[in-house]
């Protein structure tokens, strides 16, 4: 009885609390780094700047990450994984393949207005080490395959006009990725409005004509 009460009053965090705290710190580093990499570029942004933004020292960052390259890979992976999660969610939506593609494009567009998504587009392959570059390309290929599969399904169910699936997939991802180049949070349209407009425009171009 005494032991249980003492544990509840202990000022030291539990193992689960320590794990949550560590994950929160890693996430803070990644989101701060993604913003700086987006704004200044990977080469120009330093880990000293990341540390300063978080009010910590650079050695604190190295407790969580082995290198700047690892941080960049995890930043771009965060954006790419968000797109893959959106794709998985879209697959569960009832209706036509065009409906599912529209849902994915809307979420994809929103991700391109956020720091991790912008970091994906503004990061060149040459800025990553060879192992990181391979992982970066692997995730991008997965996204390409998902989009192509939805286009193929749409052609089959009649909700998308017959087309060159590969080129159409490239056109869609190219248009959505370009949002990261021109979008500004203080612009005339919100992220949601941009996403709705872009997705509707792209869906309209794919629609089967009467």
Q: In sequence order, what are the residues at sequence separation of 6 or more whose Cβ sits closer than 8 angstroms to the Cβ of residue 15? A: none
Q: What is the pLDDT of residue 11?
A: 76
pLDDT digits (tens, 9 = 90+) for 115-130: 888 888 888 878 888 8
Structural domains counted in the chain = 1
Average pLDDT, the chain: 87
**pLDDT at residue 2 greater than cutoff 60:** no
Question: Who has greater pLDDT, 20 or 172?
Answer: 172
N-term to C-term CA, the chain: 76
Q: What is the pLDDT of residue 7?
A: 54
Average pLDDT over residues 171-176: 93
The answer to whether the beta carbons of residues 147 and 102 sit under 8 Å apart is no
Burial pattern 112-151, b for ≥16 Cβ within 10 A else e, equals bbbbbbbbbbbbeeebbeeebbeebeebbeebeebbbbbb
User: Which has the closest alpha carbon to 86: 100, 99, 104?
Assistant: 104
Tokens of 137: 């390309």
Question: Who has greater pLDDT, 80 or 9?
Answer: 80
pLDDT digits (tens, 9 = 90+) for 15-68: 787 778 888 899 899 999 988 988 888 888 889 999 999 999 999 999 899 999
HSE of 27 in the Cβ direction (CA atoms, 13 Å)? 6
Q: What percentage of the chain exceeds 90 in pLDDT?
A: 46
The answer to whether the beta carbons of residues 128 and 46 sit under 8 Å apart is no
Question: Who has greater pLDDT, 68 or 14?
Answer: 68
Residue 10's domain spans which residues?
2-206
Q: What is the pLDDT of residue 205?
A: 79
**Residue 133 sits in a domain of what CATH number?**
1.10.357.10
Average pLDDT over residues 83-99: 92
Q: In sequence order, what are the residues at sequence separation of 6 or more whose Cβ sits closer than 8 angstroms to the Cβ of residue 104? A: 86, 87, 90, 146, 147, 150
**Among 39-48, 156-165, 193-202, which range has the highest average pLDDT?**
156-165
């Amino acid at each position: 009885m005494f032991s249980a009460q003492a544990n509840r009053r202990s000022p030291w965090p539990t193992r689960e609390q320590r794990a949550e705290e560590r994950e929160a710190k890693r996430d803070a580093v990644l989101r701060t780094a993604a913003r700086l990499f987006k704004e200044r570029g990977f080469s120009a942004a330093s880990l000293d700047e990341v540390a300063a933004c978080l009010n910590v020292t650079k050695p604190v960052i190295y407790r969580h990450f082995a290198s700047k390259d690892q941080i960049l890979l995890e930043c771009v992976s965060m954006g790419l994984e968000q797109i893959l999660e959106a794709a998985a969610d879209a697959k569960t939506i009832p209706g036509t393949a065009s409906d599912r593609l529209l849902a994915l494009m809307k979420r994809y567009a929103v991700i391109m207005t956020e720091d991790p998504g912008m970091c994906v587009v503004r990061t060149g392959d040459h800025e990553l080490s060879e192992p990181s570059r391979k992982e970066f390309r692997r995730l991008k290929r997965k996204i390409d395959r998902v989009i192509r599969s939805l286009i193929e399904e749409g052609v089959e169910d009649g909700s998308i006009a017959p087309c060159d699936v590969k080129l159409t997939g490239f056109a869609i991802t190219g248009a959505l990725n370009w949002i990261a180049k021109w979008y500004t949070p203080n612009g005339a349209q919100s992220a949601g409005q941009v996403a709705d407009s872009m997705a509707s425009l792209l869906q309209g171009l794919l629609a089967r004509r009467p």
